[in-house]
A and B are shown apart, each in its own frame.
Chain A
Amino acid sequence: MELLSVKDLTINFGGVTAVSKVSFSLAAGEMLGIIGPNGSGKTTLFNLLSGIYQPSAGTIALNGAPIQGLPANKIFNLGIARTFQNGRLFWNLNVVENIIMGLEETRTASIFGAIFAPAKEKALQTQAITKAMDIMGIFGSLLLNQADKIAKDLPYADRRRLEICRAIASRPKVLLLDEPSAGMDSLETERLMNDLLKVKKSIPDLSIIVVEHDMGFIKGLVDKVMVLNYGESIAYGTFADIAGNEQVINAYLGQEDGR
């Protein structure tokens, strides 16, 4: 059975249809790339999948159970974690704390436990820190060496890494990456690709949907690609399939209207 299946997903903002009848499905461990020009509805699609927006029509099913219309926090707890295009880290928290915010301990710890059962709280905190440090280990010592740094003091590329760590901390089933390479130069982008491959390798079951601008980035990474234009899915298939698609070329390069 498909892990995530999206059918006819639509959202209207007033008279504008930002995402229109988008359908796709994702198997466990699969990686899907979503590309499309600016304003084509990529981020809106993510906001729908992660529960920030409620769809006007269509269904989203995780392991066969419908999840559309649920609030963002419930969707996260069901196993869909995301990153943000502009990197929404908790800027004044340190690296460890940012990752701990993704851990389930943070949400299950009892409030009264902090006052009445300090030993248990302490043990939970130690456990959470250990887990957070294990997760950072995916990127070698890059983040571990800066574990006590405040997030806003991190170099740009490491902020992206931290966001990915925070997102996978909860061991999600589906990871949504919103333009992870935005604002990076080609060298950094290449490193990020390797990082994602590392993540993929360390959690083989993790399905990833990645929104990207950069065709080259998508090419070497994903199993399938979906192309959005004006909120509609205009092509869906392997990279080779869509690369020759005329509509895709038009959407990306503009029509060659007799210049």
Chain B
Amino acid sequence: MNTYILLSELIVYALFLAFIVIEDPLAVVGYLLALFFGAVVYKKKFPLQTQKLSSLYADNIKQVGLIAALLALTFPFIVNGDPYWLQVINFAILHAIMAVGLNFMTGRAGLICLGYAAFEAVGAYTVGLLTLKLGVSFWIALPLSGAMACLFGIILGLPALRVKGHYLALVTIAFGLIVQELILNTESVTGGTNGLIDIPSPVIFGYDLGTVMNLGFTSMSYLANFYYLCLAVLIFSTVVLYKLSNSFLGLSLNAMREDQLAVQCYGMNLTSYKLYAFAISAFFGGLAGGLYAAMINFIAPENFGYSLSVIIISMIILGGLDSIPGALLGAFALSIFPEKFRAFEDYRVFFYGLIIVLCLLFMREGLVPFKRRIFKAFPREAG
């Protein structure tokens, strides 16, 4: 295990925890500015070290992920089972699952999607309906929520095949609205505006995740159970999408983003690759929805509106398109920051819009730009 990676991750984790502790909005702004300028100054003063550290991270990505996951396990204990922060972080994790999923489609394959919340809705209603009305176990319903979203991804993909750019964006907005309206209007099944109430909590080996987590020495809110469940799904999503991104499929989708005509002339069946991107991406949106339904126990159409789609896309734009670490960072940042500025709640969507505009104007590549290519030449022997 590399000490530098461990140490730097510990520092980042400590800074993050410190951020959570600070309450006063002004202090938060000061803290963030200090961090930002600290990072900028460090980068300027020690360019070599920065370079070294970033290549160290890039070369040992598995170790970085493993350490981060282990550190994440400690979080509920550190906040001492505080339901407020667990709730916030759980939502951040759900957003992160959606962000890495959407990133595959929009970042890697270059297919813009402004209706991603629809996939979360499909997943949430799949779990809600299956567990509530049919009594199916959550553990069967969760993968089905992904599969169902996959199916909707293909349904969206089919009409979207013929359009690109702005028109694709419009089609996906329409898709998001259609799904929402569909849920509103099939009242007998989905409950319409009333939504679905009392969705049962998952039970594993007789242990209900909706009950207090009692460890003997300490007891924590039921949200701690969901924290670990969501974290597991996030790790699963990240690993799967990381592998797919670094495969031939990932390369082909990257090439498709660059030039749709050229990839066709190089033997790629554009139709199937676009559908792969839609379906794979939708799958993770569905999973996030399934988790959401089980955790909150109550879902209604307004939870999955257009603004959620915009929030998710602003996360991946902030983090850097086609960058999995970027998507994760963007999701956490944009889920947690607003909690610190509750007083300005009404401006939340304004704030997201502003971030998109500022990123597109001044920081095209986002916070964690993706520079690493999938395939690299072997070092050649001299001569």
Contact surface of A with B, Cβ cutoff 8 Å: 50-52, 71-73, 76-77, 81-82, 84, 88-97, 100-102, 104-107, 109, 111, 113-115, 118, 121, 124-125, 128-130, 132-133, 144, 147-148, 150, 166, 170
Q: Say which residue of B244, B249, B258, B375 sits within 8 Å of A92 (CB atoms).
A: B258
Contact between A71 and B244, CB atoms less than 8 A apart: no
Chain B contact residues: helix, strand, loop or mixed? helix
- Given that A73-B267, A114-B243, A115-B240 are contacting pairs, would A101 and B255 also be in contact in the complex, using a CB cutoff of 8 Å? yes
16 example contacts (A-B, Cβ-Cβ < 8 A) are as follows A72-B265, A73-B267, A77-B267, A82-B265, A88-B261, A92-B258, A96-B377, A97-B375, A107-B252, A109-B249, A111-B247, A115-B240, A130-B378, A133-B378, A144-B377, A147-B377
Other A-B contacts than A73-B269, A73-B270, A90-B263, 8 sampled, CB-CB below 8 A, are: A71-B264, A76-B267, A88-B259, A100-B248, A100-B375, A114-B243, A114-B244, A114-B246
Contact between B249 and A114, CB atoms less than 8 A apart: yes
Most-contacted residue by chain A among B249, B254, B262 (CB, 10 A): B262
Which residues of chain B are near A148, meaning CB under 8 Å? 373, 376-377
Contact between A121 and B265, CB atoms less than 8 A apart: no
CA distance A51 to B269 in the complex (A): 13
Q: Say which residue of A84, A97, A128, A170 sits within 8 Å of B373 (CB atoms).
A: A97
Contact between B377 and A101, CB atoms less than 8 A apart: no
CB of B217 within 8 Å of the partner chain: no
- Given that A73-B268, A88-B259, A93-B258 are contacting pairs, would A144 and B252 also be in contact in the complex, using a CB cutoff of 8 Å? no
Contact between A129 and B375, CB atoms less than 8 A apart: yes
Q: Say which residue of B261, B375, B376 sits within 8 Å of A52 (CB atoms).
A: B261
Give me the 6 closest cross-chain CB pairs, A-B, nearest first.
Answer: A114-B247, A147-B377, A109-B248, A76-B267, A90-B258, A88-B262
Which residues of chain B are near A88, meaning CB under 8 Å? 259, 261-262
CB of B26 within 8 Å of the partner chain: no
Contact between A118 and B243, CB atoms less than 8 A apart: yes
CB distance from B80 to the nearest CB of A (A): 37
Which residues of chain B are near A89, meaning CB under 8 Å? 262
Q: Who on chain B is nearest to A107 by CB?
A: B267
Q: Who on chain A is nearest to B249 by CB?
A: A111
CA distance A170 to B265 in the complex (A): 12
Contact between A109 and B258, CB atoms less than 8 A apart: no
CB distance from B215 to the nearest CB of A (A): 34
CA distance A97 to B245 in the complex (A): 13
Q: Say which residue of A73, A90, A111, A129 sits within 8 Å of B255 (CB atoms).
A: A90
Q: Who on chain B is nearest to A146 by CB?
A: B377
Q: Who on chain B is nearest to A88 by CB?
A: B262
Which residues of chain A are near B254, meaning CB under 8 Å? 90, 92-93, 97
Most-contacted residue by chain B among A71, A94, A97, A166 (CB, 10 A): A97
CA distance A101 to B265 in the complex (A): 11
Which residues of chain A are near B246, meaning CB under 8 Å? 114
Contact between A125 and B248, CB atoms less than 8 A apart: yes
- Given that A90-B254, A114-B247, A125-B248 are contacting pairs, would A76 and B266 also be in contact in the complex, using a CB cutoff of 8 Å? yes
Contact between A90 and B252, CB atoms less than 8 A apart: no
Contact between A94 and B375, CB atoms less than 8 A apart: yes
CA distance A78 to B53 in the complex (A): 47
CB of B155 within 8 Å of the partner chain: no
CB distance from B377 to the nearest CB of A (A): 3
Which residues of chain B are near A90, meaning CB under 8 Å? 254-255, 258-259, 262-263
Q: Who on chain B is nearest to A104 by CB?
A: B267
Q: Who on chain A is nearest to B378 by CB?
A: A129
CB of B374 within 8 Å of the partner chain: yes
CA distance A88 to B374 in the complex (A): 20
CA distance A95 to B374 in the complex (A): 11
Contact between A96 and B265, CB atoms less than 8 A apart: no
CA distance A206 to B247 in the complex (A): 30
CB of B251 within 8 Å of the partner chain: yes
- Mask of B339-383 contacts with A, CB within 8 angstroms, 1/0: 000000000000000000000000000000000011111101000
CB of B276 within 8 Å of the partner chain: yes
Which residues of chain A are near B250, meaning CB under 8 Å? 114
Which residues of chain A are near B270, meaning CB under 8 Å? 73
- Given that A90-B259, A92-B258 are contacting pairs, would A97 and B266 also be in contact in the complex, using a CB cutoff of 8 Å? no
CB distance from B111 to the nearest CB of A (A): 16
Q: Who on chain A is nearest to B268 by CB?
A: A73
Which residues of chain B are near A94, meaning CB under 8 Å? 373, 375-376
CB distance from B209 to the nearest CB of A (A): 27
CB distance from A204 to the nearest CB of B (A): 23
Q: Say which residue of B243, B252, B380 sits within 8 Å of A101 (CB atoms).
A: B252
- Mask of B64-91 contacts with A, CB within 8 angstroms, 1/0: 0000000000000000000000000000
Which residues of chain B are near A93, meaning CB under 8 Å? 251, 254-255, 258, 373
CA distance A124 to B247 in the complex (A): 10
Contact between B248 and A106, CB atoms less than 8 A apart: yes
Contact between B276 and A111, CB atoms less than 8 A apart: yes
Contact between B251 and A97, CB atoms less than 8 A apart: yes
CA distance A166 to B259 in the complex (A): 14
- Given that A73-B269, A76-B267, A133-B378 are contacting pairs, would A84 and B262 also be in contact in the complex, using a CB cutoff of 8 Å? yes
Q: Say which residue of A51, A95, A101 sits within 8 Å of B251 (CB atoms).
A: A101
Which residues of chain B are near A101, meaning CB under 8 Å? 251-252, 255, 263, 266
CB distance from A94 to the nearest CB of B (A): 5
- Given that A93-B258, A111-B247 are contacting pairs, would A72 and B252 also be in contact in the complex, using a CB cutoff of 8 Å? no
Which residues of chain B are near A84, meaning CB under 8 Å? 262, 265
Contact between B251 and A106, CB atoms less than 8 A apart: yes
Contact between B247 and A129, CB atoms less than 8 A apart: no
CB distance from B367 to the nearest CB of A (A): 19
Q: Who on chain A is nearest to B376 by CB?
A: A148
Which residues of chain A are near B261, meaning CB under 8 Å? 52, 72, 88
CB distance from A53 to the nearest CB of B (A): 12
